[in-house]
Structures are given as C-alpha cells and as structure tokens.
Amino acid sequence: MEDTSRQAHWENVYTTKGENEVSWFQQSPAPSLDLIVQAGATRESAIIDIGGGSSRLVDNLVEQGFEDVTVLDLSAAALAAARSRLESHLGASAEGVSWIVADAATWEPARIYDIWHDRAAFHFLTDASDRDAYIAHLGRGLRIGGHAIVATFALDGPEKCSGLPVVRYDSASLGRTLGTAFRLIHTQRHEHATPWQSRQNFQFSIFRHEG
C-alpha cells in the first residue's frame, strides 16, 4: 500500500471512531510496559512508540517518570487526541513528549533511540519493500545494544485488522524477517480482549540490536 493511502486510511479511522471503538484499544498497556522495563529502560532512556496512535502507553510512561518519549504515527488526528488527553491529565509533565506524524516505512530517524516499541504497526506492512525500508530505519534509529519490542498478531491471530490484511508472525519468523542484526532475547504470547470482548492472539518479542 502506498504511504499516502495508508495515511488516508488511518486519518479516517481516527476521525470517525472514538478511542474505545477500535479493536486495539487498551485501558492499560501492561504487556508493553512490562517489556520496556525488562529491556532495561531507565527514566533517561530515549523511547519511541512506533504507530502509537492514541495509545495510552505514552501516558503511563510519563506518569512513571520517563523523560524522553517520542510517539510516531501516520495519523495527525490520533496524535492530537493523545496529546490533548496527556496534557489534560498531566499538564506540564507532558511537555517533554515529542510527536511525529510520519509513516515508519518512509520516515528517516533524525536521532538514536534506546528502546523502539511497536505494537501492531509492523504487521500491516504486507509489501516486502515496505518491510525492508522499515527495518533499515530501525537499524539506523536504534542504538547498538538497544532493544526493539515488536508485537504483531500471532500465527493464530486475525488475518485482518481495520479492514486491512496483515502478516502474522511467531518470534522465529519475525526474527528471520528482521535479520541477523537483531537477536531475539525474549518472546511471549498475549491474548488481547477487544472493547467488545472478542479475543486476538498476539506475540510480543524483544530483540537486541547487535549491529
């Protein structure tokens, strides 16, 4: 899918649906928070949330004292909603968050991060060229020794999300896709309950950037 088509799709989603009217909504992003800590993040770690949308991960990170948080998403509407919610709840504490409207398959990182978090963005990249571009940006944007936390639908997860096809993975197939520069250090399954209580199987994996 062309990046302009992807952007139009997600702008439409976030301008027509409420926060808890999308299947990926989480009141508490506990699996991501636990893995960020497991990856050794400190309050000074530079963390980027790829495809963060209006996720509440950023709220939790700021509340826990993380000082260098960036959220990237295709949808300006999603980021505006997250930013408004964060500023409303946390006031001045939210001022240090960076917001980037971009497609991770075409965006060029302008700095280096310690933690690269992606819950359910990578699996939408069904074209090999988009995946290769994303992985190249990951390699340039994540420090050597840093950690990538990538969550996708598991092999027995849904075949589509938000009307779009996805690529399902287990940790082994995801590792082969990312390549030898990234070493798997942890993986776990997670059963996500949508707001309407259907179940979606995810795999969460942590990879260390070996360079």
Domain ranges of the chain: 3-209
Q: Report which of 105, 119, 106, 103 is spatially closest to residue 47, judged by C-alpha positions.
A: 119
Report the mean per-residue pLDDT for the chain. 93
Predicted confidence band of residue 90 (pLDDT cuts 50, 70, 90): confident
**Backbone φ/ψ region at 169: left (φ over 0), alpha (ψ -120 to 50), beta:** beta
pLDDT score at 4: 66
Q: Please, which residues have CB within 8 angstroms of residue 94's CB and are 6 or more apart in sequence?
A: 62, 83, 86, 87
Q: Could you tell me what percent of the chain has a pLDDT over 70?
A: 98
pLDDT score at 1: 56
Give the side-chain half-sphere CA count within 13 A for 106: 11
Say whether pLDDT at 2 is over 60.
no
Predicted confidence band of residue 95 (pLDDT cuts 50, 70, 90): confident
Q: Tell me which residue has tokens 């636990």.
A: 34
Identify the CATH number of the domain defined by range 3-209.
3.40.50.150
Q: Could you tell me what percent of the chain has a pLDDT over 90?
A: 79
Query: pTM above the 0.85 mark?
Result: yes
Say whether pLDDT at 102 is over 90.
yes
Lowest mean pLDDT among 1-10, 34-43, 51-60: 1-10
Average pLDDT (7-12) is: 85
Q: Report which of 167, 155, 160, 163 is spatially closest to residue 202, judged by C-alpha positions.
A: 155
pLDDT score at 57: 97
Specify the pairing of strand 113-119 against strand 98-101.
unpaired
Residue 188 bridge partners (DSSP):
204
Predicted confidence band of residue 25 (pLDDT cuts 50, 70, 90): confident
